[in-house]
Chains A and B, each alone.
Chain A
Amino acid sequence: MAEKFHAELKNLKKDTVAMAGLGRSMLRTAVDALIRQDKEMAASVVAQKDEIHRMEVEIEEHCYQLIALNQPMAKDMRVIACTLKVITASMRIGRYGKVIANIVREISDKPHIANMMSIPHMADLVIDMVDDAVLAYDKDDISIIRDFSVRDDTIDALRHSIFREGITYMMEDPKNISRCTHYIMAARYLERCADHSCKIAENVHYMHTGERIEIH
């Protein structure tokens, strides 16, 4: 029976990595749609919200079923506990993708200001963090997430810099206020996605070692 349970755990992880991949892809596509001002692309992200929700519910139910039927312990228990956190974080990341996609509708009529400041660069860094956190979960390898604290600091600094820069464009011309406010909000959503990748990393560390850490 233990063999069957461990095969199910492997499948659970596979499904979770697939769901995290969808959340990541929603975020990536939304940022690309924002950069290119592509409304169709943005609409495709919004359309995926039901699918990611369905995956989250399915994986969550699978976790509860595995707990109820197998009373897992030690590493097995920690894999399931971590999985429950990974799917929550992935759902949030996907939803921030959807929220960024909604911005595209609002600001696609006129050209970007200042090439969107550092938003494209910030998005690349955030998506790298999401990728690495999920890879660490998939491979059970905490060496991948060792530098997350420093990487999260960089993201915070970029958000702050986008905020200050956005204010200066607003002060220059009040017509920029609406557009720059959306940029500042997009930077805020990206920063939250980095925080969710840190949450995944913290849980992967717990899954791997049994010890808690906090990534600031």
Chain B
Amino acid sequence: MSDTCVISTTNLNLWYHEKHALEAVTMKIPKNRVTALIGPSGCGKSTLLRCFNRLNDLIDHVKITGEIMLDDENIHAPDTDVVHLRKRVGMVFQKPNPFPKSIYENIAYGPRVHGVTDKAGLDKVVEQSLRHAAIWDEVKDRLGDSALGLSGGQQQRLCIARTLAVNPEVILMDEPCSALDPIATAKIENLMDRLKTEYTVIIVTHSMQQAARVSDYTGFMYLGKLIECGRTKEIFEHPREELTENYITGRFG
């Protein structure tokens, strides 16, 4: 990979109790690119994604060995501020999960936690984030309405805007379109393409066609191992590993 790397893992292992869920994963995530993680259910792709902002810390009996570097910082170093880490590495989940508050408050919540308190400053962040997430035109006249009244696709873009509001470097997306219809999916995919000019995006998806459409790099995982990682067009045109070939041509999984 010739692109600059923003996250790198070295020999990363993770156990849930006795279950060895990630085995010696070593990979680099290039900056300002979309990287997709694909693989059959239970292969560890979501677990790997959740390692990048230490969400697995919230689960009992998880043991992690190996190293994850965000730029030059080891995210498992004792002095790492996890709240700050999750500001730098934001996350969007499978099911849209807006707060039961107004559209405005959903976006303003994060910046407020991180110290932005003046109204003008918050207004600016809200507008900018909603614009970046390509939903501003749809909600600008009803910012005071409940976010729960939005459609599923709009809620998901709102959640992306909420992530953008704290100005992250990396955005993690765990199956962000699986609860959405094809039109809402297309909007999120277009958005990903635009977002990568300013952010690094890592997406977990069960849809290989989606990975092929949206990503610059793809990692294929199987039973906790990263089998192959490389440029998307190479992975989908002529993968090096037979296992990858068999998975993407539908011979298993």
Contact = CB atoms under 8 A, between A and B. Distances in A.
A78 interface: yes
Contact of B239 (A1, A74, A211): A74
Contacts of B251: 2, 6
Interface centre among A75, A76, A210 (most CB of B within 10 A): A75
B209 A78 contact: no
A77 interface: yes
Contacts of B248: 73-74
Interface residues on B, range: 10 to 19
B238 A2 contact: no
A159 B245 CA distance: 43
Contact of A211 (B236, B238, B244): B238
B209 A77 contact: no
Nearest to B237: A210
Contact of A76 (B209, B244, B249): B249
Interface in B233-253: 236-239, 244-245, 248-251
B237 A2 contact: no
A94 B105 CA distance: 71
A8 to B, nearest CB: 12
Interface string A1-38: 11001100000000000000000000000000000000
Contact of B249 (A72, A209, A210, A211): A72
B208 interface: yes
A209 B249 CA distance: 15
B24 interface: no
A74 B238 contact: yes
B230 to A, nearest CB: 12
Contacts of A71: 209
Given A2-B249, A75-B245, A78-B237, 16 more contacts: A6-B249, A6-B251, A71-B209, A72-B249, A73-B208, A73-B236, A73-B237, A73-B248, A73-B249, A74-B236, A74-B239, A74-B244, A75-B249, A209-B238, A210-B237, A210-B238
Contacts of B6: none
Interface of B: 208-209, 212, 236-239, 244-245, 248-251
Nearest to B244: A74
| Complex A-B, nearest 10 residue pairs according to Cβ-Cβ distance, in ascending order | A210-B238, A2-B250, A73-B248, A76-B249, A73-B236, A74-B245, A71-B209, A74-B248, A74-B249, A74-B239
Contacts of B209: 71
Contacts of A209: 238
Contacts of B237: 73-74, 77-78, 210
Interface residues on A, range: 10 to 19
A9 to B, nearest CB: 10
A1 B250 contact: yes
Interface centre among A2, A73, A78 (most CB of B within 10 A): A73
B199 to A, nearest CB: 27
A6 B236 CA distance: 17
A129 to B, nearest CB: 26
Contacts of B245: 74-75
A18 to B, nearest CB: 24
Contacts of A5: 250
24 contacts: A2-B250, A6-B249, A6-B250, A6-B251, A72-B249, A73-B208, A73-B237, A73-B248, A74-B236, A74-B237, A74-B238, A74-B239, A74-B244, A74-B245, A74-B248, A74-B249, A76-B249, A76-B250, A77-B236, A78-B237, A78-B238, A209-B238, A210-B238, A211-B238
Contacts of A77: 236-237
A20 to B, nearest CB: 24
Interface centre among A1, A74, A78 (most CB of B within 10 A): A74
Nearest to B245: A74
Nearest to A81: B237
Contacts of A1: 250
A54 to B, nearest CB: 30
Contacts of A72: 249
Interface centre among B209, B212, B244, B250 (most CB of A within 10 A): B250
A211 B240 CA distance: 11
Interface in A69-93: 71-78
A75 B237 CA distance: 7
B189 to A, nearest CB: 15
Contacts of A75: 238, 245, 249
